[in-house]
C-alpha cells in the first residue's frame, strides 16, 4: 500500500498524517486509477473465491479482524476512520476520528427561578438607590419596631404586597446577584468593602466613600479618598487588614509580572459609539402615555420633599400602573422615572445644587426627551388650574429648570447664542431663526424657541431622533444644566428666600445663614434677629460683623450643620436617609444654664459633627440613644461643668462609640 492512500491499520481505515497530507491531486489520480485496479482485482483467483463465498466464509473472515467496526466490515462504526500520528516510541496518537460523543437529549436551560418578594430584596434594591424600594423602607422600619408577632408580620406582608405592584418576578430574577465565588470577593478593595458592608451596616458609609472615590478622575484626590476608605474599613473591621494586605501583595506581584513583559489585553471599549444618541422609545412612549393629571400628581408629590415625597410618588406610580395595566408596565415606569428625575433635578436646583450639578447630564438627556415627547415645561406663571383643566395642560412644572436654561442662554455671547440656535435648528430640520435674531435675544426667549421648534417638528421617529441628538448635543455637550446650577443659584438667591418663605420649605430655610440668640439652642427667625439687632432689612443684618451681633446677644452660623456635614463629606450624600448628623457637643450646652461655655459656631462646627447610621445598634440599643443617655446622666451629675470637663466626656464617648461614627473616630481626634 503506497503513500497517498488511506492505510488500513489493524483492519481499520486508519491513516497517518503523512499518508493524507499530500495534495488533492493524489485523490484525483487515485480516482483515475481505481477502475484499472478494480479490473485487475477482478481477475485474481482470491477475488473469484470471495465472490462465490458463502455466509460462513464471510463471517469467518470477519472474525479474523481484531479491531472490527460495525460498518460494512463489522466492528464499531465510530472507529471505522481515524487520523493518527505515529509516535517515536511506537504506537500512535489518534488525532481525529469519526467518533462522536453520544448525543444526549438536550436539557432545557433551567430558567432562573423568581423568588418570592422579600424584605431583603427590597433592602438591597433600596441600597442600590432604587427610589421605589427606598419608599418602602420607612414602613418596613416601622413594622420592625413592633414586637415580633402577628401584627408585625401583617404590616410587613402589606408592604410586600404593595411592592409586588412595582417589582415583578422577572425584575427580582434580574436583580439577583450573579453567584460569586469566595475568591472574587477578595479581588478588589471595592468588593472587600462591599462584602463587609453586607455584614455590618456601619461599613455602608465606608462603601459609599469608596464608591464615590472610585468615580473620581485618577489622581492624588482619588487615591487619598480610597486610602481613607481602606483605613476606615480596617478601623471598623480590623480583620480585613490581612485581606487588604494580601490583595496589595497580589497586585504588586501582578505589577512585577507586567514589568517582565506580560501585557494586558486591550480592554473592551466601555463607551460604545461616542456621540451617538440612541432613541429611547420606551421613555418617550411612557411620557406620552402619562396624562396631564399624572404630571400634576407627580409634581405635587415631589413638592412634599423627603420621605413624604418618596411615599407620595410611590403611591401615584402605583395608581398609574394599576390604571394602565400590566402590559404597559415597563413603558409607564420608564416614563415616570424620566419625569420624576426631572422634577427632582428641578427641586435640587433650589434645595440641593450640588446634587443638581451631579445629575445635570442625565437631566439634560431627560429634558430633551420630555420636550420631544410633547410635554411642555411651565416656565413662567402659567394658566390657572381651571384653564389648564379645560385645555388639557400637558405642562410639567419645571419652572426652575426653565428659568435656569433661559438664564444660561442669556449669559452666552451673541455668537454662542447664534451657534446654539443653529445647532438646534439644524437638528430640528428647520431653517435657523435668523430673521428673528432680535427676538431670540429677549429674556426668556430660549425656552420659547425650544418649545416653538418642537411644536413644528414632524412627528416621525427619524425626525425625533435627529432633534433629540441636537438637543442632547446642546444640553449635554455644552453642559447646560450643569452651568445652569451656578447661574440659577447666584442670581436667584433673593427669589429663593422669598419662595422659601412663601412656601414654607423648611429644608430651604435651613440652607441659609442661621442666627442664634445667646442662651438658646435653636436658631431664631431672621426677622427676629434683625429686630433684636436694630436693623430693618436682611441685607443690613447680613452686613453686621460677628462682634456687632455678639453685642446684641446674637451669633451667626454660616449654614445648617447638616449642609456643612454633607458638603464636607459629599460621598455620604447617598446615605442621607440612613444617617443622623450627630452633635458631639450637645446643643443643650447652648441653653441659658450653660451659657458662655460653648458658642453656637463651635457646637455646629464640622469638627464636632459625626454621622451615625440610623441602624447602628449595640445589641437592642441604638448607638445614638446610648450617647444621648450618657450625656443626660453626665449633665445631671455635672450641673456646672467646665469646658474641659465637657470636652473630656465627649472624648470618652468618641472612644466608646467612635467606631460607629461616619467617618469613624478615635479618642483624642477632636
Q: Which chain residues interact with another protein by CB under 8 A?
A: 138, 141-142, 145, 147, 306-308, 311, 506, 520, 522, 561-562, 577, 579-582, 587-588, 591-593, 614, 619-622, 624-625, 628-629, 631-637, 639-640
Residue whose grid cell is 467496526 = 69
Closest distance of CB 526 from another protein, Å: 15
8 Å CB contact between 625 and 600: no
Per-residue HEC secondary structure of 346-386 comes to HHHHHHCHHHHHHHHHHHHHHHHHHHHCCCEECCCCCCCHH
Nearer to another protein, 502 or 636 (CB): 636
How far apart CA 585 and CA 588 sit, in angstroms, is 8
Closest distance of CB 457 from another protein, Å: 42
Closest distance of CB 253 from another protein, Å: 46
Closest distance of CB 657 from another protein, Å: 15
Nearer to another protein, 460 or 639 (CB): 639
Nearer to another protein, 257 or 625 (CB): 625
Nearer to another protein, 184 or 638 (CB): 638
Peptide bond into 663 cis (omega under 30): yes
The helix or strand, by DSSP H or E, that contains position 147, with its residue range, turns out to be none
Closest distance of CB 235 from another protein, Å: 24
Nearer to another protein, 147 or 179 (CB): 147
Nearer to another protein, 63 or 154 (CB): 154
Burial 619-658 (b: 16+ CB within 10 A, else e): eeebbbebbeeebeebbeeeeebeeeebbebbbebbeebb
Closest distance of CB 229 from another protein, Å: 24
Closest by Cα among 294, 293, 315, 313 to 303: 313
* Four-point Cα dihedral 125, 130, 136, 140, nearest 10: 30
Closest distance of CB 251 from another protein, Å: 39
Residue 662's φ and ψ, nearest 5 degrees, are -125, 115
Closest distance of CB 318 from another protein, Å: 17
Closest distance of CB 626 from another protein, Å: 9
DSSP letter (8 states) at residue 265: P
8 Å CB contact between 573 and 548: no
DSSP letter (8 states) at residue 476: I
Angle at 15 between CA 13 and CA 18, to 5 degrees: 165
Nearer to another protein, 180 or 638 (CB): 638
Closest distance of CB 496 from another protein, Å: 20
Nearer to another protein, 259 or 636 (CB): 636
How far apart CA 392 and CA 376 sit, in angstroms, is 12
Cell of 235: 478601623
CA distances from 165 to 123, 135, 140, 328, 448 (A): 16, 13, 16, 13, 39
8 Å CB contact between 658 and 665: yes
DSSP letter (8 states) at residue 561: H
Nearer to another protein, 295 or 661 (CB): 661
Nearer to another protein, 72 or 640 (CB): 640
Nearer to another protein, 321 or 635 (CB): 635
Residue 617 three-state SS: strand
Residue 84 three-state SS: strand
Closest distance of CB 442 from another protein, Å: 42
Closest distance of CB 330 from another protein, Å: 29
Residue 554 three-state SS: strand
Cell of 620: 437592642
8 Å CB contact between 120 and 133: no
Residue 282 three-state SS: helix
What is the C-alpha radius of gyration for the chain, rounded to an integer number of angstroms? 38
Nearer to another protein, 503 or 522 (CB): 522
Closest distance of CB 261 from another protein, Å: 56
8 Å CB contact between 422 and 462: no
Residue 504's φ and ψ, nearest 5 degrees, are 65, 40
Nearer to another protein, 361 or 587 (CB): 587
CA distances from 193 to 37, 155, 232, 618, 667 (A): 79, 33, 10, 21, 24
Closest distance of CB 165 from another protein, Å: 20
Nearer to another protein, 344 or 560 (CB): 560
* Four-point Cα dihedral 410, 414, 418, 420, nearest 10: -40
Amino acid at each position: 500500500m503506497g503513500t497517498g492512500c488511506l492505510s488500513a491499520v489493524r483492519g481499520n481505515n486508519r491513516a497517518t498524517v503523512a499518508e493524507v497530507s499530500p495534495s488533492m491531486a493524489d485523490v484525483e489520480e487515485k480516482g483515475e486509477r481505481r477502475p484499472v485496479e478494480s479490473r485487475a482485482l477482478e481477475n485474481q483467483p482470491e477475488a473469484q473465491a470471495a465472490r462465490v463465498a458463502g455466509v460462513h466464509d464471510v463471517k469467518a473472515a470477519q472474525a479474523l479482524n481484531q479491531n472490527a467496526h460495525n460498518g460494512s466490515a463489522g466492528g464499531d462504526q465510530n472507529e471505522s476512520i481515524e487520523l493518527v500520528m505515529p509516535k517515536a516510541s511506537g504506537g500512535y496518537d489518534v488525532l481525529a476520528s469519526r467518533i462522536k460523543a453520544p448525543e444526549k437529549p438536550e436539557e432545557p436551560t433551567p430558567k432562573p427561578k423568581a423568588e418570592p418578594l422579600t424584605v431583603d430584596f427590597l433592602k438591597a434594591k433600596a441600597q442600590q438607590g432604587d427610589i421605589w424600594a427606598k419608599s418602602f423602607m420607612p414602613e418596613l422600619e416601622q413594622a420592625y419596631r413592633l414586637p415580633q408577632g402577628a401584627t408585625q408580620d401583617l404590616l410587613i406582608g402589606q408592604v410586600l404586597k404593595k411592592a409586588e405592584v412595582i417589582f415583578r418576578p422577572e425584575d427580582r430574577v434580574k436583580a439577583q446577584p450573579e453567584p460569586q465565588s469566595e475568591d472574587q470577593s477578595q479581588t478588589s478593595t471595592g468588593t472587600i468593602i462591599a462584602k463587609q458592608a453586607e455584614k455590618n451596616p456601619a461599613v455602608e458609609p465606608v462603601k459609599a466613600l469608596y464608591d464615590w472615590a472610585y468615580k473620581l478622575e485618577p489622581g492624588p484626590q482619588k487615591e487619598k479618598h480610597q486610602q481613607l476608605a481602606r483605613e476606615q474599613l480596617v478601623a471598623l473591621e480590623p480583620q480585613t487588614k490581612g485581606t487588604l494586605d494580601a490583595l496589595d501583595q497580589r497586585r504588586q506581584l501582578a505589577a512585577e509580572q507586567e514589568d517582565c513583559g506580560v501585557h494586558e489585553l486591550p480592554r473592551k471599549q466601555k463607551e460604545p459609539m461616542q456621540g451617538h444618541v440612541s432613541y429611547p422609545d420606551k421613555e418617550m412612549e411612557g411620557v406620552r402615555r402619562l396624562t396631564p393629571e399624572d404630571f400634576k400628581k407627580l409634581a405635587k408629590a415631589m413638592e412634599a420633599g423627603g420621605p413624604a415625597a418618596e411615599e407620595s410618588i410611590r403611591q401615584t406610580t402605583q395608581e398609574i400602573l394599576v390604571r394602565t395595566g400590566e402590559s404597559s408596565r415597563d413603558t409607564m415606569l420608564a416614563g415616570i422615572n424620566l419625569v420624576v428625575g426631572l422634577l427632582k433635578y428641578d427641586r435640587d436646583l433650589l434645595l440641593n445644587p450640588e446634587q443638581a450639578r451631579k445629575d445635570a447630564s442625565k437631566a439634560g438627556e431627560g429634558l430633551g426627551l420630555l420636550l420631544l415627547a410633547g410635554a411642555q415645561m411651565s416656565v413662567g406663571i402659567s394658566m390657572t388650574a381651571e384653564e389648564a383643566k379645560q385645555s388639557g395642560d400637558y405642562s410639567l412644572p419645571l419652572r426652575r429648570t426653565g428659568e435656569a436654561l433661559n438664564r444660561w442662554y442669556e449669559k452666552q455671547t451673541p455668537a454662542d447664542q447664534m451657534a446654539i440656535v443653529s445647532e438646534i435648528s439644524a437638528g430640528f430640520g428647520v431653517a435657523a431663526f435668523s430673521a428673528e435674531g432680535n427676538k431670540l435675544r429677549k429674556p426668556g426667549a430660549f425656552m420659547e424657541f425650544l418649545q416653538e421648534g418642537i411644536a413644528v417638528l414632524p412627528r416621525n421617529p427619524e425626525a425625533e431622533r435627529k432633534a433629540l441628538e441636537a438637543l442632547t448635543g446642546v444640553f449635554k455637550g455644552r453642559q447646560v444644566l450643569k452651568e445652569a446650577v451656578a447661574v440659577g443659584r447666584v442670581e436667584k438667591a433673593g427669589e429663593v428666600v422669598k419662595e422659601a418663605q412663601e412656601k414654607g420649605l423648611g429644608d430651604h430655610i435651613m440652607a441659609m445663614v442661621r442666627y442664634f440668640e445667646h442662651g438658646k439652642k435653636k436658631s431664631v427667625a431672621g426677622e427676629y434677629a434683625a429686630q433684636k439687632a436694630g436693623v430693618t432689612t436682611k441685607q443690613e443684618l447680613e452686613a453686621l460683623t460677628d462682634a456687632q451681633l455678639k453685642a446684641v446677644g446674637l451669633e451667626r452660623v454660616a449654614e445648617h450643620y447638616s449642609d456643612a456635614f454633607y458638603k464636607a463629606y459629599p460621598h455620604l450624600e447617598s446615605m442621607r436617609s440612613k444617617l443622623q448628623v450627630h452633635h458631639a457637643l450637645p446643643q443643650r450646652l447652648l441653653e441659658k444654664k450653660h451659657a458662655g461655655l460653648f458658642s453656637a459656631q463651635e457646637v455646629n462646627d464640622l469638627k464636632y459633627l459625626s454621622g451615625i447610621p440610623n441602624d447602628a445598634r449595640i445589641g437592642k440599643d441604638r448607638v445614638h440613644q446610648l450617647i444621648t443617655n450618657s450625656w443626660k446622666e453626665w449633665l445631671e451629675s455635672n450641673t456646672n461643668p467646665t469646658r474641659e470637663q465637657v470636652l473630656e466626656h465627649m472624648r470618652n464617648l468618641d472612644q466608646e462609640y467612635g467606631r460607629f461614627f461616619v467617618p469613624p473616630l478615635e479618642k483624642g481626634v477632636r
